[in-house]
């Protein structure tokens, strides 16, 4: 079954008609929307990024039968060539924040990746998206400093607060994972003026129909 993770970019989009279901996991419970696909909204219960229970969310998707996952991620651009409003399918990631693990009582090392096959499939379904680039995760909820962005931009193209944790946990669970990122702003130091959360929300609102159409295309073609 296809699992989908939605975030800020889906806040204003029309979601498919699915049944709400709470799933209990060893790491806590999570609310899912289930039907032909299983959809998880990562900011459920109005959680900011630093309080998301990534382990419960990913375990709930696995318990619900997700055997591949596509995540929508809101991101800032670290690259002048990647402008707000663009769509990017990243092919690698790094993290400036701690990443959780489901392995608390055993030694288990995984080789992290964003699934090349799923990423190519996403690019086929969303041909206007840019395929390739590195996503870096920071902890949040604050935006990054100008100095942090200057340092991160040397090794990454996008910055966000969620995808590296989700991708790593999916790998630990043996579930192929890919992401499509909406670019909501230039990061701090690249943006003109002061970057605000309201601006991020406004971009999500502006592109709500496009994001909803992409979601429906993914469900129709991949479920």
Tokens of 85: 């409003």
pLDDT value at position 194? Answer: 66
pLDDT value at position 99? Answer: 92
Cβ atoms of residues 39 and 23 within 8 Å = no
pLDDT value at position 209? Answer: 85
- C-alpha 205 chain-centroid distance: 17
pLDDT value at position 1? Answer: 94
- The sign one gets for the Cα dihedral 61, 58, 11, 94 is negative
Residues 6 or more apart whose CB falls under 8 angstroms from that of 103 comprise: 172
Query: Which of 25, 16, 86 minimizes the C-alpha distance to 61?
Result: 25
Q: Mean pLDDT per segment of 10 residues, for the chain of length 223 residues?
A: 88 81 95 94 81 96 97 94 95 94 81 95 95 96 92 97 97 97 90 73 80 92 88
Cβ atoms of residues 7 and 72 within 8 Å = yes
Cβ atoms of residues 86 and 60 within 8 Å = no
pLDDT value at position 130? Answer: 97
DSSP readout, 72-95? EEEEEESSTTS-TT-EEE-SEEEE
Rounded Cα distance, 113 and 91, in Å: 8
- C-alpha 18 chain-centroid distance: 20
pTM of the model: 0.92
Rounded Cα distance, 142 and 164, in Å: 17
């Amino acid at each position: 079954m296809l699992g989908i993770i939605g975030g800020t970019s889906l806040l204003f989009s029309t979601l498919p008609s699915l049944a709400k279901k709470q799933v209990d996991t060893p790491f806590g419970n999570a609310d899912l929307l289930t039907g032909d696909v299983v959809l998880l909204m990562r900011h459920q219960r109005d959680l900011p990024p630093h309080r998301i229970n990534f382990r419960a969310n990913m375990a709930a998707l696995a318990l619900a039968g997700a055997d591949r996952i596509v995540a929508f991620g809101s991101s800032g651009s670290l690259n002048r060539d990647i402008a707000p409003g663009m769509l990017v399918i990243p092919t690698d990631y790094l993290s400036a924040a701690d990443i959780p693990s489901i392995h608390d009582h055993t030694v288990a090392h995984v080789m992290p990746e964003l699934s090349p096959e799923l990423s190519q499939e996403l690019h086929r379904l969303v041909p206007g998206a840019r395929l390739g680039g590195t996503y870096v995760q920071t902890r949040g909820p604050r935006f990054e400093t100008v100095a942090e962005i200057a340092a991160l931009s040397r090794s990454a193209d996008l910055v966000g607060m969620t995808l590296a944790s989700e991708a790593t946990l999916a790998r630990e669970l043996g579930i192929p994972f890919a992401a499509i990122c909406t670019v909501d702003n230039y990061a701090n130091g690249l943006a003109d003026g002061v970057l605000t959360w309201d601006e991020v929300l406004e971009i999500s609102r502006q592109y709500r129909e496009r994001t909803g159409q992409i979601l429906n295309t993914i469900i129709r073609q991949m479920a």
